[in-house]
Structure 1
């Protein structure tokens, strides 16, 4: 039997989780969950596990250290992964990790598509405080469909962008903070794909950093391009 076919402990992930947050993120989250299950480090009523990036890379040798750094940062940005420094010597920068299982439960609920409480279309936004004490609108607090947006972009353009990309998530998050919606993301994708997809020089700009950047609103408000008429569109024999 081949030594490449499950003769060691396999890495396991839930497909629906990977589709929601990204494959890399699902693998790392599952790995940290495994170690939390056997960790004895309980601090402030929460279990923690610590490793350097290089030590994580030994467990996940198919990735580079930089990929693991980006993935962990992505999980931190999503609020699923908590990090801190509980080292006795503060000069030791080894990060400690725990999972916010309440956030995971919220994610599970969204994956199962439980019906959400209806919101009146013109209802005023409630202001809330974030962890830094800054006032933000409640619209920012709602879950942002990062994976759905990127999956739609891939479907329409035929490309293969990763939902877990930190840079992509930052741009999507910025547009959501400005009040744009999932349907408006789809409209921008549709408009620019219709305009650029068949042009090799412009096709390369069908990417998150172009579509979801600072020109997002101008793209959203542009008119659909009219089809260029040719002789074939007319029947001169009539």
Structure 2
């Protein structure tokens, strides 16, 4: 392709932009279609795409996060998108999306030939060849895929996870496995939000200092708590001051 700037492009479909009265929403819907074609998350006979608002914003960086969130909500309200929640963790409210292809085919001027499980053939909304490729935050890609570029420090996602979990086990006296899919899901989610290995170690240090000697709290020194959506709050907590050793009653040292 003869591009002005050497970077992977996103596509806009004129008829779809006209239908939605928005170029931005047309691009967003096309990108969700792109991921739907590659998704292995199938529920109730439909392919679903799982992403946080921040992850969507990374793909549409010329828009603010609030604007991306508003457009997604508008597409949902207008029945172009169907949402649900298949997250295993109850506190995880990240939405799952699928395109309402019935809505698409019912609109005049939009031709979406369907074939197979919930979705058009690649030629339906567009030829997918030139759609920009970002990493979808699905349980499958989070567990098995590497990010498009190395993390800060040159570590791969897998190596960074091993380092973080090894550090947690060392500091907290635990024995979590970096190969566990449940553990990877929480750690990878934070690393893909551009938090660093050092950020993760800092949270471990803070919460170990707070919780390790507390019989009621030490059980929470686990990946699903430390690297949950409360991570940023933990990261900004001050490190507890070290307490001087207690003196035995009746003696002076």
TM-score (ref. length: structure 2) = 0.41
TM-score (ref. length: structure 1) = 0.43
